């Protein structure tokens, strides 16, 4: 039976085909330049432009498409992710905001030395035990791709993390984030206690009124069972620099909530 790695590789046929078209066009350009009655300096300029264009377009396409060939993904197929440790006094925040690679990367980058102790990507909100990436992507398990953050409440508040959540993604699109469509890409906050629920509801109301013009569709639900994603998804953008990042994952310059 094919596993999730086979599924990713087969899904990447478009990303393989698209760059190869630029390589073919580049070869055609060089052949025409060689057969044309052009000065050597002109041919060198055409060569340089062709090389730059092929490289740039291939790089841009890879950044804007989620599927990758196995040669561009660094993973250990048969190793599960190690369990996340939670130091004494630390708390968890669990959020879903589209492709989990970018969520983890954004929170680590912005709060890595400001109170965020760890961050993991995984699956939550579904009704299947031990879901795989392939199963979640099918939409049949009901899970959302999510990020679970361990933080020190003495250094950073849950409220600050939730406000950041509403700044770094688009919470107005149901079952979609940027070009990524499906229920696994929905926007959600999964609270771990009544205090988190109260804060999430308060921040959501204010962000809806003051930032997002009444269009927020984020769900606020109790945190059910969490499943770590496969090892190769953890720290994905650290291990694959220049890899896919959802284009709607960026920090908006909103005024402070009142």
How do residues 140-197 score in pLDDT, each as one tens digit?
Answer: 999 999 999 999 999 999 999 999 999 999 999 999 999 999 999 999 999 999 999 9
The pLDDT of residue 7 is 41
* Predicted pLDDT at 157: 98
Q: Which residues of 205-225 are buried (b: 16+ CB within 10 A; e: fewer)?
A: eebbeebbeeebbbeebebee
CA distance 8 to 224: 27
Q: Which residue has the higher pLDDT, 37 or 170?
A: 170
pLDDT at 59 over 80: no
b vs e for 30-47, b when ≥16 Cβ sit within 10 Å of the residue's Cβ?
Answer: eeebeeeeeeeeeeeebe
Catalytic member of 99, 137, 147, 246: 99
Distance CA 87, CA 85 (A): 6
List the CATH code of the domain at 91-239: 3.30.1060.10
The whole-number pLDDT of residue 41 equals 74
State residue 22's pLDDT score. Answer: 45
249: left (phi > 0), else alpha (psi -120 to 50), else beta? beta
pLDDT at 52: 55
137 counts as catalytic: no
Q: Is residue 34's pLDDT more than 70? A: no
């Amino acid at each position: 039976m094919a596993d999730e790695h086979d599924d990713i590789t087969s899904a990447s046929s478009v990303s393989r085909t698209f760059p190869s078209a630029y390589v073919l066009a580049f070869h055609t350009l060089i052949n025409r330049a060689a057969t044309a009655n052009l000065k050597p300096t002109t041919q060198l300029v055409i060569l340089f432009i062709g090389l730059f264009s092929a490289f740039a377009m291939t790089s841009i396409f890879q950044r804007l498409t989620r599927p990758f060939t196995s040669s561009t993904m660094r993973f250990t197929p048969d190793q599960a992710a190690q369990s996340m440790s939670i130091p004494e006094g630390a708390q968890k925040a669990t959020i879903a905001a589209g492709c989990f690679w970018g969520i983890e990367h954004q929170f680590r980058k912005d709060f890595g030395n400001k109170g965020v102790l760890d961050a993991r990507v995984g699956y939550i909100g579904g009704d299947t035990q031990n879901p795989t990436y392939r199963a979640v992507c099918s939409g049949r398990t009901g899970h959302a791709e999510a990020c679970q953050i361990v933080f020190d409440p003495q250094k950073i508040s849950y409220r600050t993390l939730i406000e950041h959540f509403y700044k770094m993604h688009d919470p107005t699109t149901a079952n979609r984030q940027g070009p990524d469509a499906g229920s696994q890409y929905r926007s959600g906050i999964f609270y771990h206690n009544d205090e988190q629920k109260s804060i999430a509801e308060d921040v959501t109301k204010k962000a809806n009124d003051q930032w997002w013009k009444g269009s927020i569709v984020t769900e606020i639900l109790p945190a059910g069972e969490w499943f770590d994603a496969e090892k190769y998804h953890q720290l994905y953008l650290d291990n694959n620099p220049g890899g896919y990042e959802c284009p709607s994952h960026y920090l908006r310059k909103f005024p402070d909530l009142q």
